Structure 1
């Protein structure tokens, strides 16, 4: 259950602030694309001020606890993009989250890593943070990141 207050307040209670939305790092893409009331948030890495917090593979270089922390940070970066798209974190409603986990072939705890992000989203957004989710193991991610998260959101005209 979420505590009282705004989503931004609950995010702070989790130890996070919404970062500024960075420009797309490479390539010709946008950080989000809105179609009607649906917002597609481009994949976000676990970065703070542009610095990637860890590199490597789950199951070799990165343990599950760190993977969950990285997933939380990538989710916060997605929230920042979504909030920028709709004008307020309190207006954001999650629909789906895709969690990409760079891992060794024998690693099987992708969903456990993704749970770090899911718990944060539910704590911050309550029912509006509930989402369908896919956790996918991949051989590699941009900048050798262990985790990347993409979201699909919608929004409410009033918070």
Structure 2
């Protein structure tokens, strides 16, 4: 394993994080598509490795703390997809993170919720995890999930 790969694995261990084992998608899409040195990662919802959906809607009995936890789960799923596709050691930079948070019409804390995912990416990948980002509300997400993330990632050739 490369020095970069060893560093990423060390960070995961220090944070007591394990990448989930994700199966193939249920529907007609690819979880990851590579185009040259770019990786496009399909939406990853807040489903734990045990298959539990962290769901609900921000502002409807769900607070920021629960949202942050769901965003972190989605980010772990995103990292697992990247690792399966090219290996985390081959990440040059997470370029863009798009995030949706299931929310009531008056909920406004989506950016704070999505910071859970952003911080996890930085904690695991270091500077390569720093990214541009969009954090949007959604009236509902697939399978009742609280958070969904997708990303564009620069990878080594």
- Superposition TM-score, scaled by structure 1 size: 0.89
Cα distance in 1 between the residues matched to 2:143 and 2:61: 15
Aligned to 2:76: 76
Corresponding residue for residue 3 of structure 2: none
Determine the C-alpha separation between the residues in 2 that align with 1:49 and 1:17.
Answer: 9
| Residue in structure 2 matched with residue 109 of structure 1 by the alignment | 109
- Tell me the secondary structure at the aligned position of residue 84 of structure 2: helix
Moved more, 58-67 or 126-135: 58-67
- After superposition, the C-alpha distances for 1:136-157 in whole angstroms (9 at most, x for unaligned) are 1010000111101111111125
2:146: which partner in 1?
146
Match of 1:17 in 2: 18
Give the 3-state SS of the residue equivalent to 1:112 in structure 2: helix
Provide Cα deviations, 1:39-83, integer angstroms capped at 9, x if missing partner.
100100122235234221011132100100110110010011111
Secondary structure in structure 2 of the residue aligned to 1:121:
helix
Give the TM-score taking structure 2 as reference length.
0.90
Q: Give the number of equivalent residue pairs.
A: 151
**Take 2:63 and 2:28, find their aligned partners in 1: how far apart are those partners?**
33
Kindly report structure 1 stretches of 4+ aligned residues shifted beyond 6 Å: none
